Structure 1
C-alpha cells in the first residue's frame, strides 16, 4: 500500500514537471521565433544539434541494451521486438546526426536531403513499429531468436543506405533551403502524428492495466507529436522551432526510456521489495499467530509456558496461576456450534480484560479455558477477592446474535512455590482445582494434593465413557410414578446407569457431569430417548397398560438445531404415541428464554408433555412459567425430605402447590421415603409421587414382572393412610 501511494504521488509530480516544461518551451515559441533566430550563434547550431542527437541516441541505445539484457529472463516476443526497434531508432538517429548539414564529410557531402530522410525513416518506423508490436500476440520464444531479431536493425539500416545514397537520387527532397519543409515532408510528418494518436487511443484503453507505464508513454507521445508539428513549421536549421522540436524529441525519448526502465527494472525491483516486506509481515503475523489465540487475540499456552520459564524462577516470591473454566461452553458448542461458542468466549475475554490489572497475564488455553498468571501474590485473600470480581462480571447475560446466554466461572488456583516448582505442574494443578471448584458453592477452589487423585480418576472415566455407549455398558432403569388420584402406576422415569467393566457401578452424579462437559451427553441423551420409547412399546406388547415415560433432556440437546426432528423421528421409528412421552428440563436450562420458548412450543406441537425437573433449585427467573408450554412441575427431593422438619422447605413446597394450582399445572413430588411425607403431599393435593417408599429405580424386566405387585404394595400403603386417618 505504501508503494502504491508513492507511485500515485510520482504521477502528480511528473505530470507537473511535464506541463511546466511544455509551457516553458511553448512560451519561447509564442514570444516570436524571429526574436530567437540565430540566438545561439550561426556556427553553434550544428554543435547543439549534435549534442541533442547524441543524447537521443544514448537514450534509445540504452533502451535497446536494457531490453537485450533482460530477455534471457523474460523471453517475450514483444520485448525482443521493442529492443530491436529501439536499436534501429538509435542507429538511424546516429546516422541522421552524422549526415546533418554542417557536419564533416560522411559518405557524401552533408546535405539536408540525407539527414532529413534518415530522420523521417526513424520517425515513421517508431510509430509503425509500436503499432505492430501492440497488435502482436505475446508469447514466449526461444533464446536463440534474440540474435536473429536483433540483427534486423542492421538489415533495415542497410536498406536505408542503399535507397538514400544511390548514385541517382531515388527519393524527392524533403527540405528546401530558405523555404522549409516540403509538402511531402509535412504529409509524412502528419502521417506519423496520426499513427501516434492511434497509439495514444490504444494506450488509454489499457490505462488501468499499467497506469504509470502508460502515463509515461502518453507523455512521450505528446512530446513526439509536438516535435512533429514544430518540424513542419521551421524554415531552416537556425529556426528556434527546429531547436525546440529537437528538445521535445529528446524529452519524448527520455520518457520512453523511463517507461521501459520502470517496467523492466524499477517495477520488478519494487515488487521484490514489496514481496520481502510482505514476507516479513507474514513472518511477524505467523509469529503472532503462533503465540496468540485467533479468536480473542490473547496469548496462548505456548506464550504462557515461555513466560513462566523466564519469569517463574527469577525470585522465590509467591506467584499464582488462576485457571478459569466457562460453564456450559461445551454444551453451547455442541448444540449451537463453534461460531456461537467462539463469540461468547470473545465476549468473556473482553470482560475479564476489563477487570484484570494490566500487569497480570491473561491467556486462553485449549480454546475455552482462561489462565491468569500473577507474578506477585501478597496473600490468598487477594486471590479470592479477584476471583469473586471475575465471577461477578459474568452475571449479566451475553448477547450472542439473537441468543441471550448466561454462564458461570469455575476458578481453580495453584500457588508457586507452595504447590509446585514446575510450570507444567502448576498449570495442571490449577486446572485440577478448577474442575473441582464446580462442586463447591463458591465455585472457587485452591489446589490441594488430594485433588490430583480425584482428577486422574475423572480423566480416566471420561476416556472410558467414550466407549461405554458402543460397548453397551450403559443401561436404563425405570422408577415408577404413582398417580395419587387413581392409585395406579401410569408413568415411569427413565434413568441412565453405567456398569463399568472394571470399576463396577458408576453413579450418574459422577458420569453425567463428565458427559455434559465433554459433549458426550448428546449421543447418550439420544440413546436414552430412543431406548425408553422402545421399552414402553415393549411393555405394551406383553400386555401392560399404557405407560408414560419421562426422559430428561440435557442442555446440549435443547440447543441442537434438529432436536424437534430427532424426537419426531424417534416417535415415528418406535411407533410410540406422543402422549406417552414426557420430556423433563431443569430451571438451569433457561439461559435463553426466547430460544427455549420456540423449541418447547415445537415439541409441544408433537403432542408430548413437558415437565420442569428439580423445580425450586434453580436460579433463573420464574417468568419462564408463563412463556413455556409446561404441563407439570417436579418438586425436588431435597424439599420433600425436609417438609416435616424444616418450616422453610414446607413453606416453599406450599408455595409450589399454590403456584401450580393457579397456573393449572400438575405436580410430581420426588424422593418420597416416609409415610409422613406422603400424607402431607396427599393433603396438599399432589398429583403424582415417586420414591423409595413405593419402588426404587429397577431394570425394565423387573418392572414388567412385578407390575401387579407394585400396584398391590402401593394400594396397601394408600389404604393404611386412609385407615389411620379414620
Structure 2
C-alpha cells in the first residue's frame, strides 16, 4: 500500500511537467511557422541571455551545493557531480557570452564559438552522468575535493584554447540560413543515445530511491526533447530553438531538484522522522513509568506524586482504599501469570465501572489496587462504596475453561485521622487490607493495633544484624551466556538469607529492611568482596576468568567512601577491575548530579557500569549520555510476554536499537523459553541469563558443573542454528 501511495504521489508531482511538455509540443507541431520570430528579431539575444542566466544559476547551484556538503558526506559521487556541473556552468557562461549578437568576448561573437561551447557542455553532461552512475561509490578525504574541483577550470581553459585558437581547428556546427550541420546532429544524437542508456541504468534504482530516480528520468526526457529541437531549428528566431531552451532549462531544474532532495530534503526528513520516533518512544517510556503494565492504570509512582501535590491543598478529610484480590498469589502460582493478569484486568474494569470518575484508581506493584478519595463526607459512605465494590465481584470471572472468583479485601486509611504523610497513609491502608480478609465483610478501617507488623519487621531487622556474623547470608551465581561465543562470560551475584528459624527469606523482604536500617553498607561490602574473591578461586581451580556482576543499592551509592572501598576490595582480592561489573537500577538515576560524580569515579577504576531492570523505572533518558554506562539489562517483565504482547516486543526492540546506536551492551534477563531466546538472537541481543540455561547456583555447584552448563548452552544455541559446535 505504501509503495502504491508513493508511486501515486510521484505521478501527481509529474502532472505539471507533463502538461507543460504537451503544450510546448503542440505549439511546435501546429504553430511553428506562425510563431517564427514572434518575439521580434532584436529581442532574441536578450531572451537567450535570460534563459542562459537561469541555466547557469541552476548548474552553479548544483556545484555549490555539492561543494558545501562534500566535507560531511565525503562521497566521491557527490564530489564528481559538483565538479561536473561547475564545468557545465562555466561552459554555459562562455556559450552565453559568445552568442552571436552579444558584446565583444575575446573575439567578435560568432555562431561558431557559441555552438561549440554548448555542444561541449551537452556532451560532457551525458558522459559525466554516465560515468557517475557506473563508478563505485566510496568515501574520500576532504583534501581530495580541492583536486577534483580544480579540474573544471583546467577543462574550461583547454576549451578556450581549442575554440579561440588563431587558426580555426574545429569545424563549424551551424551554418547561417541552413541550420545545424551533419556533425552537430551526429554529436547531438550521440548525446541522445547516451542519455537513453542512462535512463535504462536508472530503472534499476527506482525501487531503492523512487523520487530521485523519477527526477533524473524526467530530466533525461527533457534533455532528449531539447536535443531533438536543437537539430531541427533553422536559426535563432525559430520557435523550436526557444522551446529547446525551455526544455533544457527544465532538465537542469529537475537535476537540481534531485541533488537538493538527496543531499538536503531527504536527510532533513529522516531527521524529523527520527525525532518523531524518539518522541513517541519517550512518551511510551513515560507512560509506562507512570502506569501499570497489566492494567494501564496509574502506578505507585503516579500515586505518590499526586498525593504529595494534593494531600495538603484542602483541609477536607481524605481516604485511601487499598484493595487486594483474594488468592491472587495462589492463582498466579497455579495457573501462571497470563491467567492472573487477565483476572487483574477484569477486576480493574469492574472497579472502573463502579467508581465515580472523580475517584482515582491506581495499581501498585504487588497487584494491589488503590483508590484515592479527595473528599470524604462520612465513614458510612466509604463502607457503602466498599460494599458496592464487593458486590461487583459476585459474578465469576470466566478465563477460558476456568471460572474464578475475584473476592476483594479492602483496607481504608483516613487523612488526617490516621496519618499526615502520604507514604504512611498508603501503608496504613495496606495494613488494614491485609487484616480485612479475617473479617466477614472483608472491609476494615485502619487501627493502630494493625501496626504490629511493624514490630515483626523490627524483629527481622534485628535478626539481620546478626545474619552476617552467623554466616546465614550466602551468594548464588547465575551464569550469563554470550550468544556469539556460546559460553559463560559472566555471572550475576545474588544474595540469599537462610534464617535459622524462619527458613529462606526473600531478598525482596530483607533488602528493603537493610536499606532502611543502613545494614546495606556492610552487607553490600561483604557481597562485593565475596563475589570478587570467588572469581579468583574459580580461576585457581582451572576455570577461565569470568566477569561478576554485583548490584549496588541506593544506600551504597550515597556511601561516602564507596569508591575507596571498591578499590580496596579489588586490591585485596587481586581481581582485575575489568572483571567487575556494578549494577544500578534506573530509579537511582533521578539524582543526576551525585550519580554523575560517583559513576565517573567508579569508571575511573576500570569497572563496567550496567543499568539493571532498564525500562521499569522512569527518569530522563539523558542519563544514558551523561553517565558512563556500558550495559543495559532488559527486565524479565518485558521478556516474559515478548511473543504475545506487541507493546513489550516494541519496547524490547527499541531498547536494543537504542543500545546499538549508543554502543552499549545488552543483557536480557529471565529467559525461560526457547522462543524468547530465538527472538532475542534474531534481534542481535548479545548476552542472556535465565532458567533456560541455569538457575542461580552455589559457587561450588557452578564450579563442578561449569563444563556441563556451557555444553548445555552451546547445545541450545546449536539447535537454534546460532553457530556450529
Q: 1:36 to 1:367 in 2, by over 3 A?
A: farther
Q: 1:26 to 1:8 in 2, by over 3 A?
A: same
Q: Name the CA distance, whole Å, in 1 between partners of 2:360 and 2:245.
A: 72
Q: Name the CA distance, whole Å, in 2 between partners of 1:125 and 1:323.
A: 81
The SS at the match of 2:414 is strand
> In structure 1, what is the equivalent of residue 645 of structure 2?
none
Q: Name the CA distance, whole Å, in 2 between partners of 1:115 and 1:445.
A: 101
Q: How many residues align?
A: 479
> In structure 2, what is the equivalent of residue 384 of structure 1?
383
Q: Name the CA distance, whole Å, in 2 between partners of 1:158 and 1:127.
A: 21
Q: Structure 1 residue 456: deviation in Å?
A: 4.7
> In structure 2, what is the equivalent of residue 74 of structure 1?
73
Q: Structure 1 residue 209: deviation in Å?
A: 2.2
1:300-379 aligned within 5 A = 300-379=299-378
Once the two structures are superposed, residues 233-269 of structure 1 have per-residue CA deviations (whole angstroms, 9 ceiling, x without a partner) of 2111111011011011111111211221222222223
> In structure 1, what is the equivalent of residue 424 of structure 2?
425
Conserved 8 A contact 1:124-1:192: yes
> In structure 2, what is the equivalent of residue 249 of structure 1?
248
Conserved 8 A contact 2:99-2:114: yes
Q: Structure 1 residue 5: deviation in Å?
A: 13
Q: Structure 1 residue 48: deviation in Å?
A: 0.6
Q: 1:305 to 1:227 in 2, by over 3 A?
A: same
Q: Structure 1 residue 52: deviation in Å?
A: 0.5
> In structure 1, what is the equivalent of residue 290 of structure 2?
291
The SS at the match of 1:202 is helix
Q: Structure 1 residue 176: deviation in Å?
A: 2.4
1:638-657 aligned within 5 A = none
1:117-516 aligned within 5 A = 117-400=116-399, 403-454=402-453, 456-457=455-456
Q: 1:10 to 1:374 in 2, by over 3 A?
A: same
Q: Name the CA distance, whole Å, in 2 between partners of 1:439 and 1:139.
A: 76
Q: Structure 1 residue 388: deviation in Å?
A: 2.3
Q: Structure 1 residue 36: deviation in Å?
A: 0.5
> In structure 1, what is the equivalent of residue 23 of structure 2?
24
Q: Name the CA distance, whole Å, in 2 between partners of 1:454 and 1:119.
A: 96
> In structure 2, what is the equivalent of residue 33 of structure 1?
32
Q: Structure 1 residue 73: deviation in Å?
A: 1.2
Q: Name the CA distance, whole Å, in 1 between partners of 2:69 and 2:11.
A: 29
The SS at the match of 2:65 is helix
Q: Name the CA distance, whole Å, in 2 between partners of 1:158 and 1:233.
A: 31
Q: Name the CA distance, whole Å, in 1 between partners of 2:207 and 2:5.
A: 17
Q: Name the CA distance, whole Å, in 1 between partners of 2:437 and 2:423.
A: 23
1:499-648 aligned within 5 A = none
> In structure 1, what is the equivalent of residue 45 of structure 2?
46
Q: 1:374 to 1:207 in 2, by over 3 A?
A: same
Q: Name the CA distance, whole Å, in 2 between partners of 1:456 and 1:26.
A: 97
Q: Structure 1 residue 57: deviation in Å?
A: 0.6
Conserved 8 A contact 2:219-2:252: yes
Q: Structure 1 residue 174: deviation in Å?
A: 2.1
Q: 1:212 to 1:105 in 2, by over 3 A?
A: same
Q: Name the CA distance, whole Å, in 2 between partners of 1:229 and 1:286.
A: 61
The SS at the match of 1:129 is helix
Q: Name the CA distance, whole Å, in 1 between partners of 2:164 and 2:175.
A: 19
Q: 1:299 to 1:5 in 2, by over 3 A?
A: farther
Q: Structure 1 residue 8: deviation in Å?
A: 8.1
Q: 1:251 to 1:305 in 2, by over 3 A?
A: same
Q: Name the CA distance, whole Å, in 2 between partners of 1:343 and 1:185.
A: 81
Q: Name the CA distance, whole Å, in 2 between partners of 1:62 and 1:424.
A: 66
> In structure 1, what is the equivalent of residue 91 of structure 2?
92
The SS at the match of 1:220 is helix
Q: Name the CA distance, whole Å, in 2 between partners of 1:28 and 1:267.
A: 37
Q: 1:438 to 1:132 in 2, by over 3 A?
A: same
The SS at the match of 1:33 is coil
**Farther-moved stretch of structure 1 (305-314 vs 323-332):** 323-332
Q: Structure 1 residue 397: deviation in Å?
A: 3.6
Establish whether residue 59 from structure 1 lines up as the match of residue 58 from structure 2: yes
The SS at the match of 2:71 is coil
> In structure 2, what is the equivalent of residue 710 of structure 1?
none
Once the two structures are superposed, residues 517-538 of structure 1 have per-residue CA deviations (whole angstroms, 9 ceiling, x without a partner) of 99xxxxxxxxxxxxxxxxxxxx
Conserved 8 A contact 2:222-2:251: yes
**Farther-moved stretch of structure 1 (182-191 vs 91-100):** 182-191
Q: Structure 1 residue 322: deviation in Å?
A: 0.6
Q: Name the CA distance, whole Å, in 1 between partners of 2:4 and 2:456.
A: 63
Q: Name the CA distance, whole Å, in 2 between partners of 1:334 and 1:174.
A: 93
Conserved 8 A contact 2:409-2:437: yes
Once the two structures are superposed, residues 448-506 of structure 1 have per-residue CA deviations (whole angstroms, 9 ceiling, x without a partner) of 111111465389679999x9xx98xxxxxxxxxxxxxxxxxxxxxxxxxxx9857xxx9
Conserved 8 A contact 1:432-1:455: no
Q: Name the CA distance, whole Å, in 1 between partners of 2:81 and 2:135.
A: 11
> In structure 2, what is the equivalent of residue 104 of structure 1?
103
1:692-707 aligned within 5 A = none
Q: Name the CA distance, whole Å, in 2 between partners of 1:182 and 1:399.
A: 91
Q: 1:5 to 1:202 in 2, by over 3 A?
A: closer
Q: Name the CA distance, whole Å, in 2 between partners of 1:240 and 1:333.
A: 86
Q: Structure 1 residue 102: deviation in Å?
A: 1.9
Conserved 8 A contact 1:360-1:372: yes
Conserved 8 A contact 2:409-2:442: yes
The SS at the match of 1:208 is coil
The CA RMSD measured in Å over matched residues stands at 3.3
User: What 5-or-longer segments of structure 2 have no aligned partner?
Assistant: 473-497, 510-725
Q: Name the CA distance, whole Å, in 1 between partners of 2:383 and 2:201.
A: 76
Once the two structures are superposed, residues 384-403 of structure 1 have per-residue CA deviations (whole angstroms, 9 ceiling, x without a partner) of 22222222333334344565
Q: Name the CA distance, whole Å, in 1 between partners of 2:336 and 2:119.
A: 76
The SS at the match of 1:410 is strand
Q: 1:126 to 1:339 in 2, by over 3 A?
A: farther
> In structure 2, what is the equivalent of residue 113 of structure 1?
112
Q: Name the CA distance, whole Å, in 2 between partners of 1:85 and 1:31.
A: 37
Q: Name the CA distance, whole Å, in 2 between partners of 1:239 and 1:363.
A: 82
Q: Name the CA distance, whole Å, in 1 between partners of 2:459 and 2:178.
A: 109
Q: Structure 1 residue 218: deviation in Å?
A: 2.0
Q: 1:81 to 1:168 in 2, by over 3 A?
A: same
Q: 1:267 to 1:460 in 2, by over 3 A?
A: farther
Q: Structure 1 residue 328: deviation in Å?
A: 2.6
Once the two structures are superposed, residues 603-643 of structure 1 have per-residue CA deviations (whole angstroms, 9 ceiling, x without a partner) of xxxxxxxxxxxxxxxxxxxxxxxxxxxxxxxxxxxxxxxxx
Q: Name the CA distance, whole Å, in 2 between partners of 1:175 and 1:367.
A: 91
Q: 1:16 to 1:393 in 2, by over 3 A?
A: same
Q: Scaled by the length of structure 1, what TM-score is found? A: 0.61
The SS at the match of 2:34 is helix
Q: Name the CA distance, whole Å, in 2 between partners of 1:263 and 1:55.
A: 22
Conserved 8 A contact 2:347-2:406: no
Q: Name the CA distance, whole Å, in 1 between partners of 2:461 and 2:314.
A: 38
Q: Name the CA distance, whole Å, in 2 between partners of 1:82 and 1:412.
A: 75
